[in-house]
Each structure stands twice: as C-alpha cells, then as structure tokens.
A and B are shown apart, each in its own frame.
Chain A
Amino acid sequence: MKIVWKRYDKNGPGSVKMIPEETDDLWIAYNLVSRGDIVMAVTVRKVLREGASGGRDAERVKLKLEIKIESVDYDKEGSVLRLRGKNILQNEHVKIGQFHTLEIERHRPFVLRKDVWDSLAVDALQQAANPAASADLAVAVMQEGLAHIFLVGKSVTTTRSRIEASIPRKHGPGIAGYESALNKFFENVLQAFLKHVDFNVVRCAVIASPGFTKDQFHKYLLLEAERRQLRPIIENKSRILLVHTTSGYKHNLREVLDAPTVMNLIKDTKAAQEVRALKEFFDMLSNEPDRACYGPRHVEVAHERMAIQTLLITDDLFRNADIPTRKKYVDLVSSVKDLGGIALIFSSMHVSGEQLTQLTGIAAILRFPLPELEDIEM
C-alpha cells in the first residue's frame, strides 16, 4: 500500500490518502474502512443527458465523489472493494444524498476520512505500508492425486488452482495405468504451476507433500523444464524448496509455513507470526491446558485476572462488529499491550486466521494457569 499523505490525530479524526498496489492491499483497505467513514475517490457514473435531438442519451462521466459509507464488500475473486454509501459532495451530476457504489481497485487512489483513528487502524496502516511484512510465497501442497497451488501474500492467501485426479492402484494389471495416471497428474500440476507462479513476484516457490510425491514432482518439473526449455523454472531452480507435510489438503499450509527452511525466509511476516502464535496456543493447550483459553467469555475472564500473555484475535471480529463492540475489542487489544502482553491480529484470509475464526475468533495464551475457566460456561 502506498500512503500518499496522512493527516490525523491518534484516537482522533483525520484523513489518509492511499493507493492499493497489490491485491493484498485491498484486503487491508477492506479492514480499514468501516461504516460511517467517508471515502473520496474518482469514479465513473452513467448520467442521462438531453441529447440535441431531444432524446435522452446515457453517458459515462468521470467524476470525483465523496460518500459516507454504509456497506463494504470485498470481492476476493475480482480483487475489488465495493464501497456503498450516500454522496456528500455537491456535484453537477449526482445530488447530495444519492446512493453510489465506489469500486476500489489496485492503483486507484482514494482518501479515507475517519472520525476516530483508533490504535488498531493506525497499526493496520503501518503494517500495510511495510513491504518486509509481505510473504509472497507460492506453495504447491500435494499428495498423490490431489494438489493445491496457493499464493501467500501479506495478509491474504489465495487458492489459485486445485488439481484432482484419480490414480488407480499400482498393482497387478493396473501398473501401467498407475504410472501414466501419475504422470498425467504431474503434467496438470506443472501447467498450473507455470500459470500461477510468477518468480518476479514471489520470493520462492515451495513444493510440499507427504512421502515422496514432492520429490517425484520436483524431478518431473526440472526434467520437463530442461526438455521444453521453460526459462522461468530453469532460471529459478534454486528458489524452489521442498517441504514435508503430513497430507495434501489446504490446512497443511500451516506445516509449510512452519517448516524451518520456509520460516527462515518469512520470519518477519505476518503470516509467519500467526502460524507461530497459533502453534504455541495449541502446544500450550496440550501441555498445560489451564494456560490456554478461547471464546470471548473465557478470554474476558482471563483478561480481568490480568492473565493474558498473548492475545490471538481475528480481523473478522473487528470488521463485523458494531461500534461499541469494536471499541471493546480495540480496548482489549491495547490494554493487553499496556500490561506487557502481546496482541496479534490474525488475517482471516490466512490459514491460521481461518482456523482461529473457526475457534470463535479469539483465544489467549496465559501467564499463569486458570483452572477455574473449565467451570465457566463458554
């Protein structure tokens, strides 16, 4: 995200002009804009005009609008943000109070005005502007007969391709069928890999699987690259990593991000922090169950006792909340920080965030055991 200028008081009103550069930034913008905010951007609107002949012509005109937001919609597929609200800027084509939907796409600047820039919004903005926080990893998670290709960005993981094939058993008369089906499957994965992995964008590409599938595919990929002179693959051979996972489903992405070789590359990124924190939470839950809790009620109690060491919370909770609830969570985050704890806001568009969302969206690792939580209804 490019921040053009910012004029705001912390916990006070102000505006920021920004330009989303990557698709990821749209997700950040999505989390930043909430109901009641004011957004100004250039847009195109169809207007009706009296034509010379007396008939009415529809014409598309470019104009600058400022709208008070009523709803925000994020389109993951098309990578656009749709902001709907009432116009507040007098204009020759659009009356004040008329509804309009602004479409924010990459490279399209806009100004966001908020009554209150709370600490969360400020943090999100800072993070968005920090290029080091971006993971930009391409990952192929596979097992025999199933493969997914993911792009892991700063705060969004997208599934670019899913390849499925039925591979017959290797034995008896089917042995030739097995090997040709496996090769066909690898070919399909290779095609998807070529299409979706852009080495100019990603730091590295990971091939992950249980067993030997990753090695087999890696071999196939390099052989075919030589044979067909696939420059991007040949030139970036050294940027392809192999990682062991325990199966080939999407949720195994957590094992990829946690693998030492990958972790080394991305340790400062949001995605990596999230994976580590969630893993810590689960480890705590299995080793010292009284020092881990989840669910709003339990976390609240733990906070009252000043027990929270690490707070894990998804951006979902803030975004979908009404103003008082959002304020409650913002206060929780800052007060955990004030007490020397860590607060991590998970992107619900990453695997770990997805999992945290399933787990009520909020969890905490505690400084000391709170066995009494067991008896409090969740």
Chain B
Amino acid sequence: MPRKVKYGVDFDIDEEDDDDVWTDYSDNESNVEVEEIENTFKADDCTKADDCTKAGIWRCSICTFDNDEGIVACDICGVFRHPMVNIHSNGNKEAAVPNKFNACPSDDFVSSSNHFSKVTLKDNFEELSSSEVVRNKEKLNVKPKTSELESSFVQLEKDEQLSICENTRSSAVEAKSENMMCSLDKQSVGADSKCSTNQIKAEIATRRSQYRPEKWMNGNQEGTLMQLNLAIVGHVDSGKSTLSGRLLNLLGRISEKEMRKFEKEAKLKGKGSFAYAWALDESAEERERGITMTVAVAYFSSKKYHVVVLDSPGHRDFVPNMINGANQADAAILVIDASVGAFEAGMDGSRGQTREHAQLIRSFGVDQVIVAINKIDVVEYSKERFDSIKGQLGAFLRGCGFKDSFLTWVPISAMENQNLVTAASDVRLSSWYKGPFLLDAVDSLQPPIRDVSKPLIMPICDVIKSRSVGQVAANGKVEAGALRCGLKVLVMPSGDSATVRSLERDSQPCDIAKAGDNVVVCLQGIDVSHVMAGGVLCHPDFPVAVATHLELKVLMLDVAAPVLVGSQMEFHIHHSQEAATVVRILSLLDSKTGKVSKKAPRCLTAKQSALIEVMLDGAVCVEEFANCRALGRVFLRAYGKTAAVGIVTRVL
C-alpha cells in the first residue's frame, strides 16, 4: 500500500495573503505529455460511408449526414452533393423495429458528435455560499420509522459517529485489537507494519480534523448557478433518454436543426420514436439498439440550478454502468412507464430495475426523488392509473428509506411534451393535476449539502486524453474541498502529483470548482498513464487510502442470493469496480438497533444487515465512510443483481 505522506506541514495556518500559497503551489512546471487521438478509425469510416448510398438518401461527404434525395446541398453543413451519386426512386420506409438483442446492426453507420449550443442564463438568484447550506440531517432521523429496511438505511448513515471515535483511539490500542483479530493464516507480516499504518491513519485523521480551508475556497462565485447532479433512473425503456433529450431541446441546449437531424437519422434507422433519445445515446451501438448502455452527461439550467443530467441505462445488464456513472447524484428523477404492464415489469421482484435503481440511489445518498410517471399519454392521462402507481410505488419507496416529504410525484409525457417545462396543455391532464410541472419540481429540490471546508477529494469518473484539450484531463464531481488553477494535487492510486492547468464546467472554462461541481480538470506535470478512471484527485497532505482488504457494514437487499464466506462478487465503489471475495462474516446486526445480534453466522440472507470483510482482486481508492461518504459507499453485486449495499467501516 504505497502512500505518500507529508509530515510536519500544517495546512491550517491562517493565510493572510493567498499569493504565498499560490507561488508555493505552482513552482513545478514540467513537461506535459500529449496523447494524440487516433484519427484513423474515423477516417476509415468516412470512406466507407462515401461508398454506400442508401435508397432515397445521399450521405454528405463532409459531415456524413444522410440527406434526402431532393436536396442539392447538405442540410447540415451546406456542402454540395457529389454529382455522380445514383438516384433511386423509392424512399426508405421505416423498417420494423428489430428485437433489441438480436438486431443485426449495419456497419456503415457513422456517429456524429453533437455540440450543444451554449446558453448562458443570467437569471437572478440568490447566491448560496455552500458552507451555509446545511439541511438539518438530525431532523430526518427522528421521524417515525416505517419499516425495517428504512431504519437500516438510516443506520448506515448514522455510522459516522461511531467510526470517528474509532479513529481517534490511540494507535497502540488499535494495533493490539488488530493483532488479536488476526487469524493465524495471515500473520507473519508482523505487528510493526500494522502499527505504523495505524499511526499514519491516526495522524491523517487528526490532521484531517484540524484542517482549515483556505480563503479562496469559500469565495462566492458571482454569476454562476449552484450545480445539481441529477440522475435520471428507472426501468429499461421507461423514457429516460427521451425525457432528457426533450428537456435539453426545450431548454435550448439542442437546436431545432440538430433535432431535425436526429429525427431524420433515427427514422432512417427505423427508430423514429428514439429521436430525442439520440441526443444522449451517442454511440453507434446504443442508437442501433435503442438502448442506453452507459451514463450520458448533459447540462441544462433551470431557474435555480445548473443541472448536470446523468441519464442512466435502465437495462439490467448495465446496472454496473449505472452505478459507476450515477453515484455522484445529489438528487434523482425516477422515471416510470405508466403503460399497462410496463410499470408492473419494472416492479417485478427479481427482474425489475425500478426497484433496484430506487434502492441504489438511496444508497448513493440521494434522499430527494422526483417520481416522473411518464407515458401517461398511453393510458389516456388517467388519474386512476397515476394514483394506483403512486400508491404501490410509494409504499415500496418508503420501505427503501425515502421520506414522503422528499418525494414529488409528477405525471408527464416526454413524447407529447406534457407537464415538462410548463404546465400541461392537454385538458385530460390539467383537469385533475394541479401540482408542479417537472422543471418546477427540479427547482423545488433543496440544495444539497457540500463539504467545501474539507480537504480536496475528487473521484475520477472519466479520463480524457485528447489533442483539443492539450493534455490529460480528469472528469468527475468534486466531493470535498475545492480546486483552482495552479493548485497542486495528488493523483491516486499512483501517488504522483500534478498541477491543475485549467478547469472546465459544462465546456466553459472556470477559475474555481467547489464541492458538488462536476468538472473537467486538465492536469499537467504527470504521466498520462497515471491518471485513470476510478482514481482520485486529492489534497497532497491527505492522500486517500489504497487498499484491497476492507471491513464493510452491509445491508442485504430483498432479492439477494445468500452470501457466504467465499462468495465471489463484483464490488463497486465510486467509479471503480473489482472482483471481490467475502473472507469473513463477522456478525449479524440488528436492523433496528444496529447492535450485534449474532456472531459469525454461517451465511447472510435477504434483508439482513451485517459486518463483513472482503478481499479485492485489485486495490481501489477508498476511505472510511466517516471520513468521506463518497469514497466509503460500496455496492456488491452477484449473478446480475445488486446483492448488498453498504459502507466502509475500516480499511484493513
């Protein structure tokens, strides 16, 4: 476990002059390695595209857009059509929608990236300094508990206090207990090394508690809205991407021209109904099958927030991608397909993702959810259907630990544009629904709590190596602390340091990024291969742990197969994923009190909560939940289902 720890430098000196720190931090101007993107593949495609002409259309040689017969110049880029292209008379009729899994994709498809037009909303709003925004968490916990599941979720959250105590314990004591628990087979390494890691741990913990943020970190950012990371989740085909595409279009992020292009392309592929979804389903494979595979990120602004849309895949096979890409969510829209049979399929115990997604976002730490009951047009805007879904789903969500007061129920039709950014225009809906429309509901979400005053932590969700950016850039949500240009950061797990060259929020350069912001951080002075998704950018004095052996407190979900010692599972934490083996089941915990109810049980079954130890195949960046929630939440999956969710109680 390589760790770079800097001793002696206290970070909490009151800095009268920011510039001192500044110079201290930007003295390292090393060479930047630039990785070039390979253009060969794209070029290849272009030539391929040129060769084949589909009946009734011609493909632009420049932008590869498929234009109608009658048009002389390309609709998109204005380039004139090649004079030699054959002209066929019959148009291409929309083909039957192929079965998603057996669809035979044609290979001449060229995806074109779309550029959302930039809209700068200069709405007036109250600038909320993040440190002031504190919702009273305690209050949440006092409320009467409705079910076992709920209380155990709350229990997971409450764990913080307990673990903090553990941290401040003297290292000697900790080392001792550690040794006692050490079984014979994994000894030998000796107590010394254990002891010293504990010392380091304790030291970091104390320093962490003494950490004082610098002045610049709390400064107000004039003219910028607070970012809200909003996950769009729900069962497959419920209309998440269509809804996201619609919102982007209605809020001016996708121009009419682009929209027309999507419509045309989608139609040609026999997927006319997916036009709006194409704005988010950008890869060829996704468009071909009409299914989202990985989380798409897009931005729009509401009155109150700069919303980061995380359009998640709903298909059961892509739940790992959903966890990977959407766990930074502050709030969520749970999209439900209201049509008969579809809602029921989503709620199916072992196969429905409405349930699984709901449980997952709860364990992402999301407590505010907008339930968008979509495709209400299909059921004739029926109030009965809406109420019946609300009744059934409401009971389930309460069981997951969501509070009624944090749930908003909005009937919508993404297709018919009903109740999205304005009140419904169809009387069949407006006659009975008097609540907020969807965008209104987004604006009514409470601002999330941000850890601005803690040392920097930014889990890396994606790494961008491209010429246009100039060097390696890491994308992710700042979970704690803040970033600014010139700042020196530590890149884990490699332990290398790098300097922030520039910051981008929604493709716009910015000076400072604070906890909660989803940003692209361009780094310099680091080997490109040392920056990887699943890594973490952190404060040089507070490196996060890199470990393979963890103690977890988990809650088994209701459809889980039993977990035994030796069970092999997939382990997810922030943006990394590893194979894991359960090496010990320490104790069963009472789901109400959190006390140990049985020591060393022979297996764990559905709905139980327990303390376990896991061993990972490869090391991950991790922190105890008490230190950093984002790096301490874990998800265990097996046989294609989420078996358990939990938190890290100890890094071993």
Which residues of A come within 8 Å of B, CB atoms?
143, 166, 168-180, 183, 210-212, 216, 219, 223, 244, 246-247, 249-251, 255, 282, 285-286, 289, 293-295, 298, 355-360, 373-374, 378
Residue among B105, B294, B469 facing the most chain A CB atoms (10 A cut-off): B294
How far is it, in angstroms, between the C-alpha of A223 and the C-alpha of B466 when the chains are bound? Answer: 29
Chain B nearest CB from A371 CB (Å) reads 12
Contact B320 A247, beta carbon cutoff 8 Å: yes
Task: Taking A169-B294, A170-B283 as given, write out 12 further A-B residue pairs in contact, using a Cβ cutoff of 8 Å, ordered by the A residue number.
Answer: A168-B533, A169-B295, A170-B293, A175-B282, A177-B465, A179-B284, A210-B317, A285-B564, A289-B562, A294-B602, A358-B581, A359-B566
Contact B317 A246, beta carbon cutoff 8 Å: yes
Q: Mark B256-295, 1 if CB is under 8 A from A, else 0.
A: 0000000000000000000000001011111001000111
Contact B318 A211, beta carbon cutoff 8 Å: yes
Q: Say which residue of A166, A212, A293, A359 sits within 8 Å of B533 (CB atoms).
A: A166
Q: Mark B555-592, 1 if CB is under 8 A from A, else 0.
A: 00000011011111010000000010100000000000
B462 interfacial by beta-carbon distance below 8 Å: yes
Chain B nearest CB from A73 CB (Å) reads 20
Q: Say which residue of A219, A251, A294 sits within 8 Å of B579 (CB atoms).
A: A251
Contact B285 A378, beta carbon cutoff 8 Å: no
Contact A282 B600, beta carbon cutoff 8 Å: no
Chain B nearest CB from A159 CB (Å) reads 12
Q: Which residues of B contact A358 (CB under 8 A)?
A: 565-568, 581
- In B95-110, the 8 Å CB interface with A consists of 101, 105, 107
Residue among A168, A170, A175, A293 facing the most chain B CB atoms (10 A cut-off): A170
Q: Which residues of A contact B638 (CB under 8 A)?
A: 246
Q: Which residues of A contact B462 (CB under 8 A)?
A: 168-169, 174
Contact B562 A247, beta carbon cutoff 8 Å: no
- In B627-641, the 8 Å CB interface with A consists of 637-641
Contact A179 B566, beta carbon cutoff 8 Å: no
Q: Say which residue of B41, B101, B280, B320 sits within 8 Å of A180 (CB atoms).
A: B41
How far is it, in angstroms, between the C-alpha of A16 and the C-alpha of B317 when the chains are bound? Answer: 51
Q: Which residues of A contact B637 (CB under 8 A)?
A: 246-247
B417 interfacial by beta-carbon distance below 8 Å: no
Q: Which residues of A contact B297 (CB under 8 A)?
A: 169, 171-172
How far is it, in angstroms, between the C-alpha of A127 and the C-alpha of B288 when the chains are bound? Answer: 49
With A180-B38, A286-B562 as known contacts, state yes or no: A175 contacts B296, CB within 8 Å.
no
Contact A285 B603, beta carbon cutoff 8 Å: yes
Rank and list the top 4 A-B pairs by shortest CB-CB distance, nearest first. A358-B566, A246-B640, A359-B566, A251-B568
Contact B561 A282, beta carbon cutoff 8 Å: yes
Q: Which residues of A contact B465 (CB under 8 A)?
A: 168, 177
Contact B600 A166, beta carbon cutoff 8 Å: no
Chain A nearest CB from B114 CB (Å) reads 9
How far is it, in angstroms, between the C-alpha of A294 and the C-alpha of B568 when the chains are bound? Answer: 16
Chain A nearest CB from B109 CB (Å) reads 11
Contact B579 A378, beta carbon cutoff 8 Å: no
B249 interfacial by beta-carbon distance below 8 Å: no
How far is it, in angstroms, between the C-alpha of A176 and the C-alpha of B45 when the chains are bound? Answer: 11
Contact A378 B600, beta carbon cutoff 8 Å: yes
| Residue of B whose beta carbon sits closest to that of A298 | B602
29 A-B pairs (CB sep. < 8 Å): A166-B532, A169-B294, A169-B295, A169-B461, A169-B475, A171-B280, A171-B282, A172-B113, A173-B464, A175-B113, A176-B41, A177-B466, A178-B283, A180-B37, A210-B317, A210-B640, A211-B315, A212-B293, A247-B570, A247-B637, A251-B568, A286-B561, A286-B562, A295-B602, A298-B602, A355-B568, A358-B567, A358-B568, A378-B602
Chain A nearest CB from B549 CB (Å) reads 15
Chain A nearest CB from B21 CB (Å) reads 32
How far is it, in angstroms, between the C-alpha of A73 and the C-alpha of B333 when the chains are bound? Answer: 58
B468 interfacial by beta-carbon distance below 8 Å: yes
Chain A nearest CB from B640 CB (Å) reads 3
Chain A nearest CB from B578 CB (Å) reads 8
Q: Which residues of B contact A174 (CB under 8 A)?
A: 462, 464, 466
Chain A nearest CB from B103 CB (Å) reads 9
| Residue of B whose beta carbon sits closest to that of A363 | B564
Chain B nearest CB from A290 CB (Å) reads 11
Contact B113 A173, beta carbon cutoff 8 Å: yes
How far is it, in angstroms, between the C-alpha of A238 and the C-alpha of B111 when the chains are bound? Answer: 31
- In B616-651, the 8 Å CB interface with A consists of 617, 637-641
Chain B nearest CB from A154 CB (Å) reads 23
| Residue of B whose beta carbon sits closest to that of A179 | B41
How far is it, in angstroms, between the C-alpha of A169 and the C-alpha of B638 when the chains are bound? Answer: 24
With A174-B464, A176-B42, A285-B603 as known contacts, state yes or no: A294 contacts B37, CB within 8 Å.
no
B605 interfacial by beta-carbon distance below 8 Å: yes
